A and B are shown apart, each in its own frame.
Chain A
Amino acid sequence: MSLLQVRNLSIHFGGVKAVQNVSFDIDAGIVYSVIGPNGAGKTTLFNLITGVYKPTSGEIRLDGEAIHGRAPSELARRGVARTFQNLQICMNMSAIENVMVGAHLRLDRNPFKAALRLPSLRRRDRELRAEAAQLMEFVGLGQYVEARADAMSYGALKRLEIARALAMKPRPIFLDEPAAGLNPKETIEVDTLVRKIADSGVTVVLVEHDMKMVMNLSDRILVLDYGKKLAEGSGAEVRANPDVIAAYLGTHA
């Protein structure tokens, strides 16, 4: 059975049908990309699956369990992680603390134990700090372990979000345009990083405009246009699909 099943998913904002009747399956362990022109509903689709928006109709199943309409924190509990197209970094915290927050659910969150500085909590926090530092190393932010978040470059912050998502030990990780706004060199590095994440066994769901990166990484691709599913298949299939060529790739192909 697929890790994630989406059936007839729709959301309307007033009269705007941002996502209409979209269905697809994502198998565990693959890189699944969602592409489409600006305004096609890609980010809205992410917001629906990760619980930020509640769907108007349709269903979403993770491992067979219905998860649509649940709060983001409940989805986090089930291992759904994501990054944001427009950065959502906590600038009031240090870089490594941003990553540590990703492990929120794996920790003892009791405020009284914390206020009393119980040794067990401190020990766990030290371990976590080491783990977070490793994650930062993994995403290529080794030199920022001691940095403040508000002192980092845009490109570094994009990876910091990925590190935070990885700290959740996610099953599917949703990356919303991880290469947007990056220079070509940084884009290649992110490309490599996504490959590394997928190789570590995490299912990656990707929204990205960089076609080279999408074609290079994806096992399967979903094409959205005006909120509707236009096509789905492997890179080669999508590229050969006349609808897609007409609507989207036309100018590139």
Chain B
Amino acid sequence: MKKTPFLGLGLLAVVLAVLPFVLPNSFYLDLAVRMAINAIIVIGLNLLIGFAGQISLGHAGFLGIGAYASAVLPTHVGWHPLLALLAGAAASALLAALLARPIFKLKGHYLAMATLGLGIIINIALRNEAQWTGGPDGMVVPAMELFGYEIGSDRQWYWVVAVLLVIAVWASLNLIDSPFGRALRALHGSEVASQVVGVDVARYKGAIFVMSAFSASVMGSISAHYIGFISPAYADFFHSIELVTMVVIGGMASVYGSVVGAVLLTALPQALATFEGWETVAFGAILMLCMIFLPRGLVPTLAARFGKGE
């Protein structure tokens, strides 16, 4: 395989390594942590949407499961945070696995409807089980602790998510350029062609759904620990849409596009904060303009312009 995809990985690693030393203050460090967390979520989601061609409008539901597992289990049951994180991820993966068969029989807008519904149901459950989750007001998340050390500062979290991001990019690049990844892309390109060469389509769709749900759940947990507080808004429909928008604006079926999309859309609300009241309008208008003028997303459009391709 061409070596070019890994050039970007090296570049990313260098940028991540240098970043904390050049960022002017903790505001930017915080932003960088949240960008990296979103980037990892979006990479997983892009494997599902961009590479395998299966839309999910309810992915924030899995983030919610992870985040609340990390909040509820240590608080109410006394579990170790790491165990809680794994339990949340296992629950997300199990839910995804159970629902994969019936959900991925659906196509197009029916699939959009079903995944949207799944996300909303999870969100409503989190909102309503107030004795566990604190209801709409949310709840405080205890600190993460690894081998007796508490991970508390932004800088510590930065290194954790930076390493995870590099791993996520590397593993995803490997995955898409493998028999498994080719099967995923093939069922997107032509479902019937992939079937007749032997791809068990339902299984592959299910597998990538489970993986992206697992990854979203883990990152939901990490995000909850990092922020120290969680509310149901984290798992709502709008957040699911934000994630899908990151996938599409960065570029469908582009790993680096996922990173770019996550970085831009995490920064955008900060940039728009100066609009005082008009943030929602500006955000909506930017989404529309991006989709109208860059329907393929930033990275694929730029890559095509400079004739390199990924």
A111-B180, A111-B207 given; A73·B198 CB < 8 A:
yes
Please measure, in the bound complex, the distance between the C-alpha atom of A161 and the C-alpha atom of B194, giving whole angstroms.
Answer: 12
Would A92 and B189 count as touching, CB distance under 8 A? yes
Contact of A88 among B181, B193, B211 (CB under 8 A): B193
Residues of A within 8 A of B201 (CB): 73
- In the complex, number of A-B residue pairs with CB atoms less than 8 Å apart: 116
Would B196 and A81 count as touching, CB distance under 8 A? yes
| A-contacting 9-mer, from B21-29, B31-39, B95-103, B170-178 | B170-178
Given contacts A50-B196, A84-B192, 15 further A-B contacts (CB under 8 A): A75-B196, A90-B186, A90-B193, A90-B194, A92-B189, A93-B185, A93-B189, A98-B186, A101-B182, A105-B198, A115-B172, A121-B179, A129-B1, A161-B193, A167-B197
Residues of B within 8 A of A121 (CB): 178-179
Would A115 and B174 count as touching, CB distance under 8 A? yes
Q: Shortest Cβ distance from B38 into chain A, in angstroms?
A: 21
Residues of chain A in range 98-147 having any CB-CB distance to chain B below 8 Å:
98, 100-102, 104-105, 107-111, 114-117, 121, 125, 129
Contact of A115 among B175, B186, B192 (CB under 8 A): B175
Would B189 and A89 count as touching, CB distance under 8 A? yes
A115-B175, A168-B198 given; A104·B190 CB < 8 A:
no
Cβ-based interface call for A91 (8 A): yes
Q: Shortest Cβ distance from B305 into chain A, in angstroms?
A: 15
Q: Shortest Cβ distance from A75 into chain B, in angstroms?
A: 8
Cβ-based interface call for A239 (8 A): no
Residues of B within 8 A of A125 (CB): 1, 177-179
Q: Which B residue sits closest to A52, measured CB to CB?
A: B192
Residues of A within 8 A of B199 (CB): 73, 101, 104
Q: Shortest Cβ distance from A102 into chain B, in angstroms?
A: 5
A104-B199, A117-B174 given; A88·B179 CB < 8 A:
no
Q: For chain A, give the interface size range.
A: 35 or more
Please measure, in the bound complex, the distance between the C-alpha atom of A100 and the C-alpha atom of B176, giving whole angstroms.
Answer: 13
Q: Which B residue sits closest to A90, measured CB to CB?
A: B189
Cβ-based interface call for A148 (8 A): yes
Interface residues of B (CB under 8 A from A): 1, 170-172, 174-175, 177-183, 185-186, 188-190, 192-201, 207, 211, 253, 309
Residues of B within 8 A of A81 (CB): 196-197
Would A52 and B196 count as touching, CB distance under 8 A? yes
Would A102 and B197 count as touching, CB distance under 8 A? yes
Q: Which B residue sits closest to A79, measured CB to CB?
A: B198
Q: Shortest Cβ distance from A36 into chain B, in angstroms?
A: 22
Would A52 and B207 count as touching, CB distance under 8 A? no
Please measure, in the bound complex, the distance between the C-alpha atom of A102 and the C-alpha atom of B186, giving whole angstroms.
Answer: 10
A125-B178, A148-B309 given; A101·B196 CB < 8 A:
no
Residues of B within 8 A of A229 (CB): none
Q: Which B residue sits closest to A124, measured CB to CB?
A: B179
Residues of B within 8 A of A77 (CB): 198
Please measure, in the bound complex, the distance between the C-alpha atom of A89 and the C-alpha atom of B196, giving whole angstroms.
Answer: 12
Would A104 and B179 count as touching, CB distance under 8 A? yes
Which of B193, B207, B211 has the most CB atoms of chain A within a 10 A radius of its CB? B193
